[in-house]
Amino acid sequence: MFEQLRQDIRVVFERDPAARTLLEVLLCYPGVHALLLYRVAHRLWRGRLKLLARLISHLARLLTGIEIHPGAAIGRGFFIDHGMGVVIGETTEIGHDVTLYHGVTLGGTSWNKGKRHPTLEEGVIVGAGAKILGPVTIGHHARVGSNAVVVRDVPANTTVVGIPGRVLMGRPATDDSSAFLSYGQSDAMPDPVAKAVTCMLDRIHQMDRRLQQLEHPLKTHRPPEGQPDRPELDCLSHTREG
């Protein structure tokens, strides 16, 4: 237990530049408090003392604003930054070195018993306000941008943004997917909606240029004087008169 606590504190110093002293982390970081109480509740849950485990998790929620079900499985190096409003469901599985920010929900979409909450593999970063719903799998070192809503599996080493979550493809092969990015965001991260709109505008411009090319011969060719511009219409008019 104490070894896990030391590791939880070490992770804070690694991922939060605002952390200054050991005493500050112990007293002022709700993510550390919630994780400490979760460790106790989880052991009780596995020992079939489920009511007591739920009471401890409820106490942790009152004290920290973070709700972690004691049945969830959480690996080493887990870090919750700020933490208020984080909800982690019963069948959630979290791998090593995962980071969550405030307002994250790892929730279920079914009332059926069994696996109904997400699985986050090693090194995942989930930005503030993101919602990951259902028994989906977030691949290792994937990044979920702030306020994204994810309802499908996410491949490893990718970034998901938007509602519903869309995977951003085409990341450079030299990109260090293990590099830590706060809130799962990057300055160079493209907007998939803006990219789609840009592609549509480019296509419209191409069609417009093609139409101008087709219209140009018609504009330069003038019919003899007295001959209608639309002879087929003139024929139709004679047909109607007949």
Q: What is the pLDDT of residues 28-87, one digit of tens each?
A: 889 899 999 999 999 999 999 999 999 999 999 999 999 999 999 998 889 998 889 999
What is the span of the domain harbouring residue 211?
195-241
Give the span between the Cα atoms of 71 and 93, in whole angstroms. Answer: 9
Judgement on whether residues 118 and 90 belong to the same structural domain of the protein: yes
Cβ atoms of 176 and 193 closer than 8 Å: no
Q: What is the pLDDT of residues 147-203, one digit of tens each?
A: 889 999 999 888 888 888 788 754 543 444 445 555 555 555 556 666 778 788 888
The CATH number of residue 133's host domain is 2.160.10.10
Which of 165, 190, 215 is the last residue in one of the domains?
Answer: 190
Q: What is the pLDDT of residues 101-147, one digit of tens each?
A: 999 999 988 888 889 999 999 999 999 989 999 999 999 999 998 88
List, as one string, the DSSP characters of 143-171. EE-TT-EE-S-B-TT-EEETTTTEEE---
Helix ranges (H only) for the chain are: 2-15, 22-28, 30-46, 50-64, 192-220, 231-241
Give the span between the Cα atoms of 179 and 182, in whole angstroms. Answer: 10
Identify the three-state secondary structure at position 242.
Answer: coil
Judgement on whether residues 147 and 82 belong to the same structural domain of the protein: yes
Which of 149, 164, 190 is the last residue in one of the domains?
Answer: 190
Judgement on whether residues 210 and 104 belong to the same structural domain of the protein: no
User: To the nearest 10°, the Cα dihedral for 176, 7, 154, 116?
Assistant: 180
Judgement on whether residues 150 and 203 belong to the same structural domain of the protein: no
What rounded mean pLDDT belongs to the chain? 81
Judgement on whether residues 121 and 202 belong to the same structural domain of the protein: no
Higher pLDDT, 92 or 177: 92
Judgement on whether residues 133 and 156 belong to the same structural domain of the protein: yes
Helices 30-46/2-15 angle, 10° precision: 150
Judgement on whether residues 171 and 126 belong to the same structural domain of the protein: yes
Q: Give the per-residue pLDDT at 185.
A: 53
Judgement on whether residues 95 and 208 belong to the same structural domain of the protein: no
Q: Give the per-residue pLDDT at 170.
A: 43
Question: What is the number of domains present in the chain?
Answer: 2
Judgement on whether residues 78 and 21 belong to the same structural domain of the protein: yes
